[in-house]
Amino acid sequence: MSLSTTFGKRRTVNMSEEIAEELNRLANSQGKTLYSLINEIGLAALEGSRHGFTLNEAIQAKIVVDRAKRSRMMLVNRDLWYSGSSKAYKTFKSEWLRQVYENAKWHAHVFLNNGSQEEFIASIRNMLADFVWDCGETTIEPRGGNSLFVRLVFVPEMPLEHTKSLFKTFEGMFNVFGYVVTDHVVKPGFLTMLFKKLASTIETP
């Protein structure tokens, strides 16, 4: 389908019939003309470009924010979060780690894909990219049989206590899908973990 509009000069926008029909229905549902809706989309794309991102990147960011809201996440100052989690670890270690572990199991059902091993790894990478902004380096790779090796490098300011809490987080998330830790190294801002899948059953939230 071709849509002709005038901006000083005549311009033609080409799109498939299916997309044009969907856009027309969307415009009608919002009480707009197809012309105004397409202009609105174009202005949004231009505004995103001025700020250094594409319209698709903006949409993906909105999806991430909505997922975070539904999962009861909130933005917190990093230094404050490090300090708070470290104090909780030192003061209420057993109870704090229990809460971290149980919360991680719930989030595993929200963010991780227990399809093939490749899909599972991809979902972990996506989760890290979307929500763990202080992780600078990520290695996740199969290690023979049903084992997975995970290496995560965070910012150097991360306290050991916070890193230990993150270890418990990943242990909880992987445990949901039958993976158990067989080896690990935990240092300030640094984690390596070797997981082995022992069962095909999935824990229910």
pLDDT in tens, 50-65: 999 898 988 888 888 8
Q: What is the mean pLDDT of residues 164-188?
A: 96
Domain ranges, ordered by start, for the chain: 2-52, 76-197
Tokens of 22: 């969907």
pLDDT surpassing 70 at residue 5: no
Asked whether the whole model's pTM tops 0.75, one would answer: yes
Distance in angstroms (rounded) separating the CA atoms of residues 140 and 148: 7
Q: What is the mean pLDDT of residues 125-141?
A: 93
Residue 68 has a pLDDT of 80
Q: What is the mean pLDDT of residues 66-94?
A: 90
pLDDT surpassing 60 at residue 11: yes
What is the average pLDDT score of the chain?
A: 89
Distance in angstroms (rounded) separating the CA atoms of residues 73 and 115: 25
Distance in angstroms (rounded) separating the CA atoms of residues 45 and 34: 17
Other C-beta atoms within 10 Å of 158: how many? Answer: 22
Residue 114 has a pLDDT of 85
Residue 20 has a pLDDT of 86
Domain 76-197 has CATH 3.30.1380: yes
Tokens of 92: 């209420």
pLDDT band for position 140 (cuts 50, 70, 90) = very high
Nearest to 166 by CA among 71, 106, 100, 91: 100
